[in-house]
Structure 1
Amino acid sequence: MNQLLLERSTGLLSPQRFARILTTQRIYAVQSCSTLRFDGGEKEVIIPEHDVSQPSTGLEPVAPKLWAHQAGVTALAVDIENRLLLSGGLDSSIRLWDLEDCPTDAKLTLKPTAAISRAASAHKFGITHLSFYPFDSAAFLSSSYDHHLKLYATENQAVSADFDLKSIIYTHALSPIAQHVLVACATQHPAVRLVDLRSGANTHSLAGHHGALLSLAWSPTLDYILASGGVDGTVRLWDIRKSSGQLGVLDMEDSTGIAGTDGMGKSSRSRDTGMAHHGAVNGLTWTDDGYHLVSAGHDERARVWNAATGANTLASFGPTLKNGHLSTLPLIISPTASTPAGQELLFYPSERELLVFELHQGRLVKRLKVPGPNIASVRSRTGERNIKNRITGLVFRGQADGIYSAHTDGQIRAWLPKTAEDKRLEIEEEDSLKRHAQDDEDEDGRRKRQVLNDVFTDLTRQKISFG
């Protein structure tokens, strides 16, 4: 660190390069933070912490069990300021957390700043997806298994708009850059449904898939381009300005792509057939520069596509991927400005572990194991049941401020950067505390010895006579 500061101060290292080196180090240093917990305030279950092989005396210490959502967390979203975290539960409850409102004690326990309880929730069934408005944190959207898409005011959690799509909504998406406020919805219906928040109407549908849709993603650089993935194994690209809509289909067998007249796909003939995966496509995300699209399917494969030509880049991520649930798989990619060019990282939730890959090479960088039991006990409207714990939501905070994940065991877990510099500072702080404690102990010992010495001196100075 001192060397980097010296190079920056002398002009050998530009501020941009300096910032990129630091953010890269922090992203690579992400690890589980067990001290940060989320307490949704639901009724606690007391679990004795003792060896079950020993007879119980009834006096063993007990520890409270905390949940963000006791029935399971199904969705997460972070606002544009990277301060507010939104979570949704399988019991239809929604909670808002202030990530900067951290207590100072050793065990950091966050409590929600606002909540829409299960009893008061506008939804009747579990939440499938949450998202803040891209340009303002004053509003957020939620979709649910009850067929409804709802718009809320963040300040008072009041419902501003309600859209009934007459079909289960698996996910929805807002363009991060567009002036329009069209919400694309992936439902059981085999067409992308577009909802206009201004007019409050379903503007039109994009038809082409054969079966339910599980994933959607707007281009981060072109406000009219949308990608969708469905149970038919296809990934389709759409231009919402066109009457037909569809631009083409991605084909896993094509590693060349469609060049067109300018080498970038212009005036090229679109591909109408092709399979992106041998199974349902339930994960889609773009790199934030818009150059690449990443997809994940039930064939337990992830593929990286050239967005300009539609070519499969043939990046291979090995046989470690797990993906078999009929729900949207949350994929996230590190910001392109946080790492050197072409070295972005893909964070892939594979059941109970978070896999970190180099996006373009497919090399496994790190396996982050989810702490806790494989099987968790959760409570819902139908009673208590045991479920297999897995990751259901994933959000990246800021440029390199960590990752937050949602889990079916009801927990929200934090994955925060801990670099060698952070560890060194922690060790120095611990050593300093130990030294202060030792000094206090020595001072206390000196005082006690001085008191005993004074007592002994007083006794020896007294004249003793024998009668």
Structure 2
Amino acid sequence: MLGFLSARQAGLDDPLRLRRAESTRRVLTLQLNQDRDVDRIHGNGINTLDIEVIEGRYMLSGGADGVIVIYDLENSSRKPQYTCKAVCTVGRSSRYVHKFSVETVQWYPHDTGMFVSSSFDKTMKVWDTETLKPAEVFHFEGNVYCHHMSPIARKHSLIAVGSKDPKVQLCDLKSGARIHVLQGHRGEVLSVRWSPRYEHILATASSDSRVRFWDVRKASGSLFTLDQHNGDKSKAASESANTAHNGRVNGLCFTGDGLYLLTTGTDDRMRLWNSSTGENTLVNYGKVANESRKGLKFAVSRGCSPEFAFVPCGSSVAVYALHTGELVTMLRGHYNNVDCCEFHPDYQDLYSGGKDCNILAWVPTPRKPDIEDEERGGKGEAQAAQNPAFEDAWSSSSDED
């Protein structure tokens, strides 16, 4: 570490290399934080979490009890032991509360004054954060499994919505109307994700085993459908042609640069795809247990080299090296199944929520400098340095620069 700080100060090393390597070290040393608690508000399982990107301070949660909570993640007490307080709640006593399970919550990407929630009560609500009242309510014919707003869009304000209806609905925040439907899936839509690279590109996943890419500016159907066999007819039975998984596809997550898409399915497989070509990269993650009948909320790290995937796996969170498929570690601490993960890219913290009604905070182990650390030229703690993924980070960082 000292060697890298000196090299950066002297202008001999790119600052991004040190930042990526330290971010990687922090992810590889994640552990349950015994000193940080999160207020326990939900009376039932926690389905979804979201941290706003403006300040990186406030987190939303939505539960199977229909309740929505906003937490302040900042340690205002400055004490080693503290609790992330719930600053406001849309509880069962509110006339505006969702009647059934909240499946997805998301902050408005450009302002913390608004957030959106969707629920099994067949509604999606756009909330004013100050008043905790819905500014707009969209009604649907079936259960709403998911929704997503583009993190980068400037030319549109569309919310993509997945529900029991095979049609993907596009709702416009400006007009308050459902302006378009995307037709192509043959089963309920379990996950939707806008590309963080191109504001008009949308990926959708369905119980029909397919993942489709769309350009919402075009009315001529999907751009392409992901094929796990990469077009090899000899490997694909007729009924599994052009399918991303051999079961329900219930999870989507783009990498931060938008170049890759990670998918999960009830066939206990996870696959990584080139988002430009739709090619299956054939990374082998092994068996990734997935018993969820609904959407699975998982996360991918940002700013690391290589990147990592955090995937709910029973009562644990599995951490995988994204491009090699290596299972790096299992984070254990929940007493029941984990349903969602949210990664904080500013601090490399991880938050997870589960059916035990708890939200757990996973934080990096503090660095402990020693003589051995200096002799390694700044490669961090022994625990991280011995991990192959960490060694890859240093070599790939220098290669990229």
- Common fold by TM > 0.5: yes
Q: Does 1:354 align with 2:321?
A: no
Q: Does 1:202 align with 2:165?
A: no
- Give the corresponding residue for 1:418: 365
Question: Structure 2: how far apart are the matches of 1:212 and 1:124?
Answer: 21
Aligned counterpart in structure 1 of residue 119 of structure 2, from 128, 132, 144: 144
- Map Cα deviations across residues 87-126 of structure 1 (whole Å, 9 max, x no partner): 1122111111111144344542222111111120431111
- Give the corresponding residue for 2:22: 22
Q: Does 1:328 align with 2:303?
A: no
What letter is aligned with 1:226? L
- Give the corresponding residue for 1:366: 329
Q: Which has the larger radius of gyration?
A: 1
- Map Cα deviations across residues 391-442 of structure 1 (whole Å, 9 max, x no partner): 1121111344301111111111101111433899xxxxxxxxxxxxxxxxxx
Superposition map of 1:294-443 within 5 A: 294-319=262-287, 321-335=288-302, 338-340=303-305, 343-371=306-334, 373=335, 389-421=336-368
What letter is aligned with 1:357? Y
Runs of 4+ in 1 over 4 A off after TM superposition: none
Highest relative contact order (Cα 8 Å, sep 6+), 1 or 2? 2
- Give the corresponding residue for 2:390: none
Compared with structure 1, are the counterparts of its residues 422 and 177 closer, same or farther at alpha carbon in structure 2 (3 Å cutoff)? farther
The share of aligned pairs that are identical, in percent, is 36
- Map Cα deviations across residues 158-188 of structure 1 (whole Å, 9 max, x no partner): 2111110121000101111112111101100
Compared with structure 1, are the counterparts of its residues 141 and 166 closer, same or farther at alpha carbon in structure 2 (3 Å cutoff)? same
1:255–1:314 Cα contact (<8 Å) kept = no
Q: Does 1:76 align with 2:44?
A: no
2:73–2:85 Cα contact (<8 Å) kept = no
- Give the corresponding residue for 1:252: 228
Q: Does 1:118 align with 2:92?
A: yes
What letter is aligned with 2:324? Q
Give the number of equivalent residue pairs: 362
221-230 or 2-11, larger mean C-alpha shift: 2-11
- Give the corresponding residue for 1:189: 165
Q: Give the TM-score taking structure 1 as reference length.
A: 0.74
Q: Does 1:31 align with 2:20?
A: no
Question: Structure 1: how far apart are the matches of 2:345 and 2:57?
Answer: 9
Question: Structure 1: how far apart are the matches of 2:223 and 2:80?
Answer: 54
What letter is aligned with 1:327? K
Question: Structure 2: how far apart are the matches of 1:231 and 1:419?
Answer: 43
SS of alignment partner, residue 420 of structure 1: coil
SS of alignment partner, residue 223 of structure 2: strand
- Map Cα deviations across residues 14-46 of structure 1 (whole Å, 9 max, x no partner): 22222222222112221111322122xxxxxxx
Question: Structure 1: how far apart are the matches of 2:75 and 2:127?
Answer: 22
Q: Does 1:287 align with 2:255?
A: yes
Structure 2 spans left out of the alignment, 5+ residues: 233-239, 372-401
Structure 1 spans left out of the alignment, 5+ residues: 40-66, 257-271, 374-388, 425-467
* CA root-mean-square deviation: 2.0
1:70–1:409 Cα contact (<8 Å) kept = no
Q: Give the TM-score taking structure 2 as reference length.
A: 0.86
1:249–1:273 Cα contact (<8 Å) kept = no
413-422 or 326-335, larger mean C-alpha shift: 413-422
SS of alignment partner, residue 392 of structure 1: strand
- Give the corresponding residue for 1:219: 195
- Map Cα deviations across residues 323-361 of structure 1 (whole Å, 9 max, x no partner): 0111111121111xx223xx2111111121111111111
SS of alignment partner, residue 127 of structure 2: strand
